[in-house]
Amino acid sequence: MHGMTGKPKGTAASKDIATSRAMLLLLVAMTGVAPISLYMLVPALPVLATTFGRDISVAQMTVSLFMVGIACSQLIMGPLSDRFGRRPVLLAGLTLMVAASAACIFAETLPQLIAARFFQALGGATGMVVSRAIIRDLYERERVASMISLVIAVMMIAQMLSPLTGGLLETAFGWRAIFYAITAGSLAVAAGIALALPETRRDRAPGSGFRGDFGSLVRNRAFVGYVLCQVLASQIIFTFAGGGPYIVVTQMGRTSAEYGAWFATTAFAYLVGNLLCVRFAPRHSLERLIWFGLAAQLGGSLLNLALSITGLNAAPGWLFGTQMIVMVGNAFVMANSAAGAISVRPEAAGTASGAMGFLQQGIGALLSQFGAYLGGHSTTTLPLTSAILGISLICTSTMIFVVPRREVVVSEMLIEQAEEEESGML
């Protein structure tokens, strides 16, 4: 059996909530508060190392342990939101983030700041995992991917501006000003949730809990297949991001600023992919969109490997231009496979979202190091592009051999309803 695809509560109030701009804004804010906080501090890392008299590698732990906090939060907060509801878990997580952000402001040593950053991520990442569960609570299975893509597309614009914002704040007012801004932003998101977000969690069967939810999910072939597909697709991003700086700066002899500009093109391609997914999701089944994404992902990876063999992508224009094709496909694969995973058992959407996010972040930390090794210990782009092609092939194989086949007819009524909702929110 493919999995349960229960419906959200069919009231007029639920429809109003689902189509409101306020809901879109809340979903974007709760999804983005942790990653925006992560990237805002990056420009200030050299200043932190100088201020506290420590090596830059120690200052880097304010970023690396933040990512660990995000991974742990995904595993903890998702099941808690299934058990206690979306609202209380979100409010508790954001309260923790506000408290930890205040602790960052008053940190007197770098270890204190690193510890506070971990708890800041632990609380802030609640929004990342619970937002996907809320989307599944409110929308039909075939609409989930387009809503995830819409939220990601809007959030990425803010996320891309966050390093610039952090740099400007640090230059004008010092590094503590970054945490004043994060504290204020966290408070604003918490207030918005408290005032405007209703409880969306579905009714649960008596006696259900984390062990039962997790056990039923891992025994479900569709869930395992969709999660593996989503996690593997995300590892393409981590691997390329890990190896890219070494290839551009060390092998190609370009500046780090130029690398940043080239890397922005892949983020833009990912943004375009999400916007295209929003456009096409109402007209095509979730599975068909995954196959489209896999084809683009695999085709771009093959082209990049061919250019590596011939030596043409020794210039960044070829390397990143081809990677942009991969990233457009990657957006389709990630959004739609995530939608499939959290739709297998809708009443356990938080647990499903948390497990998926934990694997994505945890394995990503390892593969970013692997990508850095490939980029830093080779004289060509071939090892990195071979690794990306290998991940693309495994991702495609997961969809072929693990995910059960499922035929879906997308009706005109569904198309009209989806377009109505999206136009109302935008």
What is the residue extent of each domain of the chain? 12-208, 211-425
Nearest to 175 by CA among 49, 32, 34: 49
Work out the angle at residue 36's Cα, subtended by the Cα atoms of residues 258 and 338, and round it to the nearest 5 degrees: 100
Asked if residue 124 lies in contact with residue 93, where contact means CB atoms within 8 angstroms, the answer is: yes
Q: Is 377 helix (H, G, I), strand (E, B) or coil?
A: coil
Look at residue 15 in the predicted model and tell me its pLDDT. Answer: 53
CATH architecture observed for domain 12-208: Up-down Bundle (1.20)
Asked if the domains at 12-208 and 211-425 fall in one CATH topology, the answer is yes
Exposed/middle/buried for residue 235 (C-beta within 10 Å: 0-12, 13-18, 19+): buried
* CA–CA gap between residue 60 and residue 365 (Å, rounded): 14
Which pairs count as long-range contacts for 310-315, CB under 8 Å and 24+ apart, including other chains?
A: 311/380, 313/381, 313/385, 314/251, 314/252, 314/380, 314/381, 315/252
Which of 348, 119, 111, 86 minimizes the C-alpha distance to 200? 86
Other Cβ atoms within 10 Å of 12 Cβ, number: 7
In eight-state DSSP terms, residue 284 is: S
The values of phi and psi at residue 318, to 5°, are: -70, -45
The CA-based angle 183-358-281, given to 5 degrees, is 90
- pLDDT, averaged per 10 consecutive residues of the chain (426 residues), comes to 40 53 86 88 85 83 86 90 91 96 94 95 93 86 81 76 84 93 95 90 62 83 94 91 83 80 86 90 87 96 94 88 95 93 87 89 82 85 95 96 70 50 50
Q: Report the distance separating Cα 40 and Cα 184, nearest Å.
A: 14
If one counts every other C-beta atom within 10 angstroms of the C-beta of residue 370, the result is 16
Q: Which amino acid makes up residue 264?
A: A
Hey, what are 123's tokens? 């609380």
- Residues 6 or more apart whose CB falls under 8 angstroms from that of 361 comprise 67, 70, 71, 74
Instruction: Please tell me whether residue 199 adopts helix, strand or coil conformation.
Output: coil
Question: Taking the mean position of all CA atoms in its chain, how far away is CA 250?
Answer: 29
Other C-beta atoms within 10 Å of 21: how many? 10
**CA nearest neighbour of 289 among 337, 222, 324, 241:** 337
Query: What integer pLDDT is reported at residue 297 of this predicted model?
Result: 96
- Residue 317's contacts (CB-CB under 8 Å, 6 or more residues apart) are none
> What pLDDT sits at residue 326?
96
Sequence-ordered alpha helix ranges (H) in 60-175:
61-84, 86-105, 110-124, 126-138, 141-173
- pLDDT at position 210 is 63
Q: Six-digit token pair at 210?
A: 């984390």
Which is nearest to 290 in space by CA: 237, 351, 333, 245?
333
* Cα–Cα distances in angstroms (integers) from residue 322 to residues 140, 232, 270, 307, 311, in the given order: 34, 19, 13, 9, 14
Residue type, 400: I
CATH number of 211-425: 1.20.1250.20
235 contacts 363 by C-beta, under 8 angstroms: yes
Q: How many angstroms separate the CA atoms of 259 and 246, rounded?
A: 9
Q: Give the per-residue pLDDT at 336.
A: 93
How far is it, in rounded angstroms, from Cα 286 to Cα 308? 33
User: What is the value of pTM for the model shown?
Assistant: 0.78
Q: Cβ(33)–Cβ(186) under 8 Å?
A: yes
Phi-psi region of 171 (alpha: psi -120 to 50; beta: other; left: phi over 0): alpha
pLDDT of residue 164: 79
Query: Which position has the token pair 């009231």?
Result: 11
Residue 7: per-residue pLDDT: 43
Number of residues in the chain = 426
